[in-house]
Amino acid sequence: MRVALFVPCYINDFYPEIALNTMKILRAVGMEVEYPKGQSCCGQPFLNNGLVEEGRRFATRFVDIFAGYDYVVSPGSSCVSTVRHRYPTLLKETHPSGVEEGRVMELCEFLHDVVGVENLHFRHSFPHRVGLHNSCHGLRELRLGRASELILPHYSKIRAVLERVEGIELVDPERDECCGFGGTFSTGEEAVSVMMGRDRIDDHESHGVDFVTGVDISCLMHMDALARREGREIGFIHVSEILRGDEV
C-alpha cells in the first residue's frame, strides 16, 4: 500500500527522531512510504482558539497535499483527530469527500487495524516496566482504547501493539485523566495544567514504572518537563521509540 507520512509540527521541530522511527516501522511492515514535502500544520491551534477561517485554509491544504494515498499515517493522535473529526465540517462545501474516515490514522491504530498485530514480529526486547498514558484525543476521539466512563469491554490498541515487544511490562494508571497540556491551555491556565501533570506523574510513579509511553508526544513532553524540573527519576518515551522500526 502507498502510505503518506504526516508529521505534526512539534515532532518536526523538536522530536524528528519520532518521524524517522515511524517511517522505518511502516517500511518494515511492507508499506511504500512517502513524505509529502509540502505539508504543514493541521490547523489545530487555530481551530482550538476560534480562528475558523485560518483553520480552514490549513485543512484545504492538507486534503490537497495528501490526496491519492491509500493511507495517511501519523505518530500524533491529536492531529489525526483534528483531521478526522473537524475537517469534514470545515470542508463540507468545498471537499465533501476529501477526508475519508478510515484513511487518516494514528501509527498504532494503523498497525492494529490495517497491518494486524499478528503480523508484527519484533526482533528486539524492551525489558522495562512501562506506564501507558492514554492521551485525551487518542482515547476519546480516535477510540484507541476504552475510556473509563464508558460501559464497554476493556480494550487498548496501543497495548496490543506494544505487547508484541518481548520483555515489556505494561501498567495502566489508576485513572485515565488528562495530563494538563491541552496546547494553549497549558499557557492560559498554567497552574491548573501543572497540577494535572503532577497528578498523572504521581499515578504512574505509584506503580513503580521505569518509563511512561503514549502516542502523543505533546502529553509526554509536558510531563517530562515537570518531572525533570522536580528531579524525578522517570523516563518519557513515544511508542515509536519502543517499537524501533528497523527491528520489526
All structural domains of the chain, each given as residue ranges with its CATH number in brackets, are 2-115 (3.40.50), 119-247 (3.40.50)
8 A C-beta contact, residue 223 and residue 179: yes
Res 188: pLDDT: 85
pLDDT at 102 over 90: no
Res 173: pLDDT: 92
Instruction: Report pLDDT digits (tens) over 57-100.
Output: 999 999 999 998 999 999 999 999 999 999 999 998 887 666 66
pLDDT at 156 over 80: yes
For the whole model, what pTM was predicted? 0.94
At position 112, the amino acid (one-letter code) is H
Residues 6+ apart with CB under 8 A from 244: 21, 24, 25, 122, 124
25-49 average pLDDT score: 94
8 A C-beta contact, residue 24 and residue 111: no
